[in-house]
Amino acid sequence: MKYNEQEIDRRRTFAIVSHPDAGKTTITEKLLLFGGAIQQAGEVRARKAARHATSDWMEMEKQRGISVTSSVMKFTYRDYEVNLLDTPGHNDFSEDTYRVLTAVDSALMVIDSVKGVENQTIKLLDVCRLRHTPIMTFINKLDREGRDPFELIDEIEKVLRIQCAPMTWPIGMGKRFRGTYHLYTKELVIFDAEAERGTGGVISMTGLDDPRLDELLGSQAEELRADVELLEGAAHPFEEEAYRAGLQTPVFFGSAINTFGVQQLLDTFVDHAPTPLPREAVSRTVSPYEEPFTAFAFKIQANMDPAHRDRIAFFRVCSGKFTRGMKVRHVRLGREVAINNATIFMAQDRTHVDEAFPGDIIGIHNHGTIKIGDTFTQGEELKFTGIPNFAPEHFRRVRLLDPLKSKALEKGLTQLAEEGTTQVFRPLMGADWVVGAVGLLQFDVVMHRLEHEYNVKATYEPVSYVTARWVTGEKKKIEEFQKKEVMSCYIDGEGDLTYLAGSQWRLDNTMDNWKDLAFHATREHN
């Protein structure tokens, strides 16, 4: 096997999808501990606390250095190189959160056993579904009195429309939580909050009829047997193919804060999660094993300090090998650029990494020459797809305070839209721009940057939209639609027709009335 192939096959690139407080930070920390990337618990938590103690983004910006390094966490586990991409969650939830999911090969879903499937998880799973992303599930906080595991599994299947294949099964919960039984390896893992990694022992059973179960679990052994019997009719057996196709999720139970169940999850993850996958481009599919280097930008982080107007564009490597200083083709601009100043994200213990392989993320410094969706190659005219804009969920009308600055306002709003901070919509009728975002914090970011980078003073006015759809169809129909719905029609930053709706009901109604037109919740970059 070639060196490159080996490097590709040992990579696993993923993100965590969860609702705030389900335990993402806690699990991340435990994963990094297993990978030796951090030395003690608390390091990731401290970063999170710094980021979330405030809803003021200027304060959050002071943590900027931290948020860049925690955007991608790399660790080694067994023989595997694992890249964990951060999905911004609390106050910093934004379109980036969605777009990170377009750069990974699989996801880990964390569910709070007390709360079950929550709102943000539903939205994130919708994004995963666009690319049939394989998902593993960790049901967390079994040390608490949570909901019935059967009910949780049923809720995941119904609400998230994905088959569940329990891999482990919990024995009691809360005060009666005794551990888990692995349905495939037949191992009983005893929970002991006081023991190292929360584990009081791992005992191999011959099966559920092993009398040692009764010795160790007492009457709870019978409960376990009854549960597993019920599972045979109620759940699906694990099938790697169904998992890889995004149709089925293997489910683990545990308690992240006690490290319990995390290693079982991690072992199954590295064994079964996909290696870096082929990527769709406009003209063809690119295999990770191809020799020429290719990559695409999925996230841009601007430096808020006006003295340093540089940005970092995050690229996912899709094929070939990246080496520092190499020349690549910036396909949209049609020119060669040399990349000397790249950040290759790496594990803490290795200070000098000068190459990156498919599945890896590199950060490239630039001054606004890179847009979301941009493709880099070694000469080929290639454009990766599947890095879309997502329909915003919050909207504000922009009122310019100095009417002479309308050109600067347009430039600012358009450039910020290209970076993926927000989206911008120009009304078909009227003059005021509307800004749309997935997370509220982005509105403050835009105002600050307009003032400091573009010297434009503006304010926001509320506007009663709740969602947007990109509209396509036959020219005549589109013209008719624009006439009838002129008050709700806008042109976005890349010139595409967008319909903004005041309520879900209105959107459904409009879609019903215009069956010949297509209403898209995402839009590819031009």
- Amino acid of residue 196: E
Examine residue 275 and tell whether it contacts ligand G4P (CB under 6 A): no
Q: What's the closest the beta carbon of residue 170 comes to ligand G4P, in angstroms?
A: 12
Q: Is 24 annotated as a binding residue?
A: yes
User: Cα–Cα distance between 193 and 34 in angstroms, integer?
Assistant: 18
Examine residue 145 and tell whether it contacts ligand G4P (CB under 6 A): no
Crossing angle of helices 149-160 and 220-234, rounded to 10°: 20
Examine residue 24 and tell whether it contacts ligand G4P (CB under 6 A): yes
User: Cα–Cα distance between 151 and 164 in angstroms, integer?
Assistant: 12
Q: Which is nearer to ligand G4P, 104 or 242 (CB)?
A: 104
Residue from the set 255, 275, 319, 510 that interacts with ligand G4P by CB under 6 A: 255
Q: Is 422 annotated as a binding residue?
A: no
Residue from the set 8, 15, 22, 339 that interacts with ligand G4P by CB under 6 A: 22
- With contacts defined by CB under 6 A, name the span among 139-147, 323-331, 362-370, 415-423 that binds ligand G4P: 139-147
Q: Which is nearer to ligand G4P, 31 or 313 (CB)?
A: 31
How remote is the C-alpha of 466 from its chain's centroid? Answer: 22
- Amino acid of residue 384: F
Q: What's the closest the beta carbon of residue 191 comes to ligand G4P, in angstroms?
A: 11
3-state secondary structure of 218: coil
Q: Which is nearer to ligand G4P, 91 or 510 (CB)?
A: 91
Residue from the set 23, 134, 179, 439 that interacts with ligand G4P by CB under 6 A: 23
Residue from the set 7, 12, 18, 128 that interacts with ligand G4P by CB under 6 A: 18
Residue-wise burial string across 71-83, b where 16 or more C-beta atoms lie within 10 A, e elsewhere: bbbbbbbeebbbb
3-state secondary structure of 99: helix
Q: Which is nearer to ligand G4P, 22 or 82 (CB)?
A: 22
Examine residue 92 and tell whether it contacts ligand G4P (CB under 6 A): no
Number of residues that bind ligand G4P (CB under 6 A): 16
Examine residue 144 and tell whether it contacts ligand G4P (CB under 6 A): yes
Examine residue 97 and tell whether it contacts ligand G4P (CB under 6 A): no
Examine residue 432 and tell whether it contacts ligand G4P (CB under 6 A): no
Q: Which residues, in sequence order, are CB contacts of 91 under 8 Å at separation 6+?
A: 51, 52, 54, 55, 57, 60, 439, 441
Examine residue 17 and tell whether it contacts ligand G4P (CB under 6 A): no
How remote is the C-alpha of 54 from its chain's centroid? Answer: 22
User: Cα–Cα distance between 524 and 515 in angstroms, integer?
Assistant: 22
Residue from the set 136, 256, 382, 416 that interacts with ligand G4P by CB under 6 A: 256
Q: Which residue has the tokens 């949780």?
A: 152
Sheet holding 72-77, edge to edge: 72-77, 80-85, 11-18, 106-112, 135-140, 248-253, 163-166
Q: Is 22 annotated as a binding residue?
A: yes
Q: Which is nearer to ligand G4P, 108 or 331 (CB)?
A: 108
Site for ligand G4P in 45-64 (CB under 6 A): 45
User: Cα–Cα distance between 127 and 387 in angstroms, integer?
Assistant: 11
Q: Which is nearer to ligand G4P, 42 or 237 (CB)?
A: 42
User: Cα–Cα distance between 129 and 160 in angstroms, integer?
Assistant: 10
- CA geometry: angle 504, 114, 190, nearest 5 deg: 145
Examine residue 25 and tell whether it contacts ligand G4P (CB under 6 A): yes
User: Cα–Cα distance between 48 and 257 in angstroms, integer?
Assistant: 15
Q: Which is nearer to ligand G4P, 30 or 329 (CB)?
A: 30
As annotated, the binding site includes: 18-25, 86-90, 140-143
As annotated, the binding site for GTP includes: 18-25, 86-90, 140-143
Task: Report the interface residues with ligand G4P, using CB under 6 A.
Answer: 18, 20-26, 45, 140-141, 143-144, 255-257
